[in-house]
């Protein structure tokens, strides 16, 4: 077996590598992928044409599960044909090196080191892997918010049950539409105790659309850690899925220790893919939960040492995955980088601001998501007077508009304007809500 090589530079170049460069064991080429010409920065009309999404509906819920854009779909199909033609040779030719290329493409987009990235199948899997592996003692405290998703709640509770640690939940804000950075920081600091070892938060709340000031929260935690011994310091973990693919942010500069996200939502990655990034301190504070393959397997065979295995690979679950999907992930990162991260952020915030401003003018609508783009991202949550969230969703679906309701105990109607939408579609959706008065 060839030792896996992690690529730490030129993430975009690796992401844009043609599938035709992936050779089979007998040096034959995999099927041609029908490579799509590079898209121009901020070419939103051109981007929409890359998706097979039906034009029979206005799609305002694509954040749930992405449609595969053409470069991703072509890559998936090329890998699938190669696997179906000769699965053993194709897998053996690539499995020891291709995860390194995928991590390099992710690193180029995220602004981190490739060896610090683990590959997963979803945000939920990433959360479970990180939280199930945390090194905690009895009476250690895990601090989380009441605004988090079920996946975070249960992953943390299961770890607490196994270790004797305690989970403490706090509200970071009272009224989401009126949230401020000062309020969030005050509640965070008040919730941290001498026993707090982990702070787990969600960057953008799918329950309200609030985007937390993670960098400011990280700075507040760093000041507390500066006064503590190394063994008493707080680990800061972030579920980042609904900011990832929107915000123009290098993850290494966000200030957290762990960052977990699926890549089949705003990133437009293949369904069933995700990433975990952790800094050195974070990975040292967590144990692997599922055996990994590739070079870790080489260690098991006695051909190399564990210290030669990149930590991200060591933490990536092994076994056989939907390889044609995972191996097509670099094309999604390449597409976003071609569009331009700053352009992506500007466009999504523009469409979301248009949505919020329109809803705010309607007397029968209560808007819960902050108007400030510094405290919101790509989700807009609201109520329509006299209607349940599910009824709003059904009413708009009958008018050819697909939206969603927040899957929480307190459910709101929810729009998620994204890069595949335009201003005219937003106006049609707003008109449909106005007609519900």
293: pLDDT confidence band, cut at 50, 70 and 90? confident
Give the CA radius of gyration of the chain.
Answer: 22
CB 377 within 8 A of CB 242: yes
Please tell me the distance from the alpha carbon of residue 359 to that of residue 366, in angstroms, as a whole number: 8
Which pLDDT does position 166 carry in this prediction?
Answer: 95
Nearest to 115 by CA among 322, 313, 316: 313
Query: In a 3-state reduction of DSSP, which class is residue 198?
Result: strand
Please tell me the distance from the alpha carbon of residue 233 to that of residue 194, in angstroms, as a whole number: 10
Please tell me the distance from the alpha carbon of residue 186 to that of residue 217, in angstroms, as a whole number: 10
Does the pLDDT at position 283 exceed 90? yes
Which pLDDT does position 291 carry in this prediction?
Answer: 78
Which pLDDT does position 316 carry in this prediction?
Answer: 83
Give the DSSP letter string of 56-91: TSEE--TTSSPPPPHHHHHHHHHHHHHHHH-HHHHH
CB 400 within 8 A of CB 234: no
Q: Which residue's structure tokens are 């029908």?
A: 34
Q: Which residue's structure tokens are 């974070």?
A: 282
Domains and CATH numbers, the chain: 105-336 (3.40.640.10), 341-434 (3.90.1150.10)
Residue-wise pLDDT tens digits, 326-382: 999 999 999 999 999 999 999 999 999 999 999 999 999 999 999 999 999 999 999
Percent above pLDDT 70 for the chain: 88
The dihedral through the CA atoms of 243, 249, 250, 254 has a sign that is: negative
Which pLDDT does position 370 carry in this prediction?
Answer: 98
Residue-wise pLDDT tens digits, 38-75: 899 999 999 999 999 999 999 999 999 999 999 999 99
Backbone conformation region of residue 294, classed left if phi is above 0, alpha if psi is from -120 to 50, else beta: left
Residue-wise pLDDT tens digits, 376-419: 999 999 999 999 999 999 999 999 999 999 988 889 999 999 99
Section 210-239 average pLDDT: 97
With b for 16 or more beta-carbon neighbours within 10 A and e for fewer, the 134-143 pattern comes to bebeeebbbb
Residue-wise pLDDT tens digits, 85-102: 999 999 989 988 899 999
The one-character DSSP state at 38 is P
Please tell me the distance from the alpha carbon of residue 216 to that of residue 256, in angstroms, as a whole number: 10
Query: In a 3-state reduction of DSSP, which class is residue 94?
Result: helix
Section 99-120 average pLDDT: 95
Enter the tokens of residue 93.
């030719």
Which pLDDT does position 9 carry in this prediction?
Answer: 36
Which pLDDT does position 189 carry in this prediction?
Answer: 98
Residue-wise pLDDT tens digits, 239-260: 999 999 999 999 999 999 999 9
Please tell me the distance from the alpha carbon of residue 56 to that of residue 35, in angstroms, as a whole number: 27
Task: Tell me what the pLDDT averaged over the chain comes to.
Answer: 89
Cβ contacts of residue 249 below 8 Å, gap of 6+? 243
Q: Which residue's structure tokens are 């998620």?
A: 416
Q: Which residues pair with 274 in a beta bridge?
A: 120, 262
Q: Which residues pair with 405 in a beta bridge?
A: 413
320: pLDDT confidence band, cut at 50, 70 and 90? confident
Does the pLDDT at position 299 exceed 80? no
Which pLDDT does position 297 carry in this prediction?
Answer: 53
CB 395 within 8 A of CB 436: yes
Helices and strands, counts by H and E, the chain: 17, 13
Which pLDDT does position 208 carry in this prediction?
Answer: 97
Please tell me the distance from the alpha carbon of residue 98 to that of residue 96, in angstroms, as a whole number: 6
Does the pLDDT at position 34 exceed 90? no
Q: Is 377 exposed, middle or buried (0-12, 13-18, 19+ CB in 10 A)?
A: buried
């Amino acid at each position: 077996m060839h030792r896996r090589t992690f690529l730490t530079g030129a993430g975009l170049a690796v992401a844009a590598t043609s599938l035709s460069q992936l050779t089979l064991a007998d040096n034959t080429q995999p099927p041609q992928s029908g490579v799509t010409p590079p898209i121009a920065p901020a070419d939103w009309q051109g981007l929409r044409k890359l998706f097979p999404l039906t034009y029979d509906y206005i799609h305002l819920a694509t954040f749930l599960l992405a449609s595969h854009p053409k470069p991703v779909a072509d890559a998936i199909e090329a890998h699938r044909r190669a696997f179906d033609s000769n699965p053993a040779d194709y897998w053996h030719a690539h499995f020891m090196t291709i995860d390194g290329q995928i991590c390099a493409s992710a690193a180029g987009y995220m602004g981190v080191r490739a060896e610090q990235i683990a590959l997963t199948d979803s945000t939920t899997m990433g959360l479970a892997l990180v939280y199930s592996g945390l090194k905690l003692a009895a009476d250690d405290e895990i601090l989380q918010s009441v605004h988090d998703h079920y996946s975070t709640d249960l992953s943390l509770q299961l770890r607490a049950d196994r270790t004797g640690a305690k989970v403490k939940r706090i509200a970071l804000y009272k009224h989401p539409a009126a949230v401020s950075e000062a309020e969030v920081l005050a509640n965070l600091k008040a919730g941290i105790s001498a026993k707090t070892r982990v702070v787990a938060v969600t960057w953008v709340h799918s329950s309200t659309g609030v985007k937390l000031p993670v960098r400011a929260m990280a700075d507040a935690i760093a000041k507390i850690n500066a006064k503590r011994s190394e063994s008493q310091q707080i680990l800061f973990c972030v579920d980042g899925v609904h900011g990832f693919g929107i915000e123009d942010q290098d993850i290494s500069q966000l200030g957290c220790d762990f960052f977990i996200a699926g890549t089949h939502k705003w990133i437009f990655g293949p369904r069933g893919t995700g990433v975990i990034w952790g800094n050195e301190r974070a990975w040292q504070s967590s144990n692997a939960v599922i055996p990994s393959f590739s070079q870790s397997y080489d260690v098991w065979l006695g051909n190399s040492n564990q210290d030669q295995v990149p930590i991200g690979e060591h933490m990536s679950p092994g076994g056989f995955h939907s390889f044609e999907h995972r191996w097509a992930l670099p094309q999604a990162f390449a597409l976003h980088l071609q569009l331009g991260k700053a352009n992506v952020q500007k466009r999504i915030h523009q469409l979301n601001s248009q949505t919020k401003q329109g809803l705010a003018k309607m007397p029968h609508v209560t808007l819960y998501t902050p108007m400030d783009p510094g405290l919101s991202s790509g989700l807009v949550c609201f109520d329509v007077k006299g209607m349940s969230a599910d009824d709003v969703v059904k009413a708009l679906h009958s008018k050819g508009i697909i939206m969603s309701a927040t899957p929480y105990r307190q459910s709101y109607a929810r729009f998620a304007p994204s890069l595949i939408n335009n201003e005219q579609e937003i106006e049609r959706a707003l008109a449909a809500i106005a007609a519900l008065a």
